[in-house]
Amino acid sequence: VTASQRLGLILASESLTFLMEAHSGVSAHIVEEAGFEAIWASGLTIATSLGVRDCNEASWTQVLEVVESMADVTSIPILVDGDSGYGNFNNVRRLVRKLCERGVAGVCLEDKLFPKANSFLGERQPLVDVAEFCGKIRAARDSQTDEEFCVVARVEALVSGLGLGEALRRAHAYREAGASAILIHSKRRSPDEVLAFGREWAGRCPLIVVPTTYPSVTREQLEQAGVSAVIWANHTLRAAIAAMRRVCREIHRRRSTADLESNLASVGDVLSMFDHDELRDAEARYLAPTPPSRAPAKVESAAAHAGLARARAPHA
Ligand code: SPV
Ligand code: MG
């Protein structure tokens, strides 16, 4: 089963699935390790980790490169946040071809303008014309080189304050244009408008939600409203930011790292995240015998030499 087939199955399945955000090779690895079935490659968190704003300041090839490093170290499907497609239908075509080449499972396109701005910034952001957005969906469909590649259409009508009727009108048009699933976004503190959308949508195609501002929504509420998948859109980066701040402040304040080890992943944990055994085996197969004086130090022995415990999990 390919990544795109798996994402398609996840979205179509009866049970609710959770996609977790990642923005780098290491965060993608951690998401898979935690047991998630799929990854959300978030535009917000990739931009933030690159040190730019979520307003298409990062180029699409920068995003692609990050996504490639995530795909290289994981086996679960990745749904890429393609923003509004980085331009018009033609930019969408190139994006989709490149994502397919890299084994990415799907892309999510939102019905905003280019350049976009994050949905939590300001009010009443203008939306793209329905026909133009349908053209982008059709262009995505016509250029996918992986038959099962998923194209998720994200409806921003609720976020822009246009109401349920407009959100449904757009969702119907996007499904007819070929979207595999609809992502209905909201920035209310209550899930009510999203749940109402789900009831009206009535399973016409899989429905995805992003409960960033309404985290208290329950699994039962989402299931009853016919939601297929939930995206935790930014929680890996937010966890990392909080942890990095805490540790940096403490080390700066104390001018010492003593007694902080229990708050940190061990260096052994860091080193064992990616498969060094494979490299050792490959060295045995491919490296010409090297005189002992020039032999590279083995990672494991380097870690042991530095007195660093080798561990598979934090604090293990
Ligand atoms: C993202 O994670 O980049 C998203 C979700 O698009 S949101 O930030 O809520 O717009
Ligand atoms: Mg985004």
Q: Mutate which of 46, 66, 81, 213 to test ligand 1's pocket (most atoms within 8 Å of Cβ)?
A: 81
Q: Has residue 53 got a pLDDT over 70? A: yes
Q: Has residue 109 got a pLDDT over 80? A: yes
Q: Nearest ligand, CA of residue 185?
A: 1
Transcribe the chain into DSSP letters.
--HHHHHHHHHHSSS-EEEEEE-SHHHHHHHHHHT-SEEEE-HHHHHHHHTS-TTT-S-HHHHHHHHHHHHHT--S-EEEE-TT-SSSHHHHHHHHHHHHHTT--EEEEESB-SS---TTSSS---B--HHHHHHHHHHHHHH-SSTT-EEEEEE-TTTTT-HHHHHHHHHHHHHHHT-SEEEE----SSSHHHHHHHHHHTTSS-EEE--SS-TT--HHHHHHTT--EEEE-SHHHHHHHHHHHHHHHHHHHHT--TT-GGGS--HHHHHTSS-HHHHHHHHHHHSPP--GGGPPPPHHHHHHHTTPPP-SSTT-
Q: Mutate which of 42, 112, 116, 237 to test ligand 1's pocket (most atoms within 8 Å of Cβ)?
A: 42
pLDDT at position 298 is: 58
Q: Nearest ligand, CA of residue 183?
A: 1
Instruction: Give the residue, 302 or 267, on which the prediction is more confident.
Output: 267
Report pLDDT digits (tens) over 246-289. Answer: 999 999 999 999 999 888 999 999 999 998 999 999 999 999 87
In the structure, what pLDDT confidence band is assigned to residue 305 with cuts at 50, 70 and 90?
Answer: very low
Cβ–ligand 1 contact at 81 (below 6 Å)? yes
pLDDT at position 37 is: 98
Taking the centre of ligand 2 as the mean of its atom positions, its distance from the CA of residue 307, in whole angstroms, is 42
Report pLDDT digits (tens) over 129-180. Answer: 999 999 999 999 999 999 999 999 999 999 999 999 999 999 999 999 999 9
